[in-house]
Structure 1
């Protein structure tokens, strides 16, 4: 069972940079290259230490967070962010930053 999960892990990670930067797509003379953060996890185990076949299992999963895409056309190459991901990251970041600045200002007033 462990060899099976290792083979799957190697297969998933062998694509390397293509996991983060997808295959370019050309539409009406415009090339689009999607950009995402990709993470995979795999595990396996068995139920016994004896040399016999023991109950076991394996599992795996992955997540991809789309950041946006590089768009290349006659005007040049530019990055177009995914606004939903930008908001999902930006709103908590601004909240934490605001609270940190409030504490710094409060500490400087004393």
Structure 2
């Protein structure tokens, strides 16, 4: 288990910007660089029985887990020497609609509180 954790830490630690920006692709003279929002999480633990006289490794357990999320937010498109960002509209709507609902709900609560 220890070797797996060390390998994961090494691989994710070296990814950095590479995980958020994809490899550039050139199609018909247009260069496209995909961009994503990337998040990783890992955890692990060991549980023992608390008996100091117990043999090492008896009545103890360990475990771990992890996960990741990658949301494509858009792409940088370079054409004729000019670069522009083109957002992924589906991802923008998926993030924007809940944000607007929460913001509207919060503003209505603040207004209601000031009226009292």
Structure 2: any 5+ residue segments left out of the alignment? 49-54
The number of aligned residues is 109
TM-score (norm 1): 0.78
Segments of 5+ residues of structure 1 without an aligned counterpart are none
Q: CA deviation at 1:44?
A: 4.0
Q: Deviations over 1:36-66 (max 9, x none)?
A: 11112233445668268x7644433211011
**1:7 Cα deviation (Å)?**
1.1
Q: For structure 1, which segment, 26-35 or 100-109, has the greater mean C-alpha deviation from structure 2 after superposition?
A: 100-109
Q: Is the 8 A contact 1:5 1:42 kept in 2?
A: no
Max Rg structure: 2
Aligned partner of residue 16 in structure 1, secondary structure:
helix
RMSD (Å) for aligned C-alpha atoms = 2.6
**TM-aligned CA distance change 1:109 to 1:61, over 3 Å:** closer
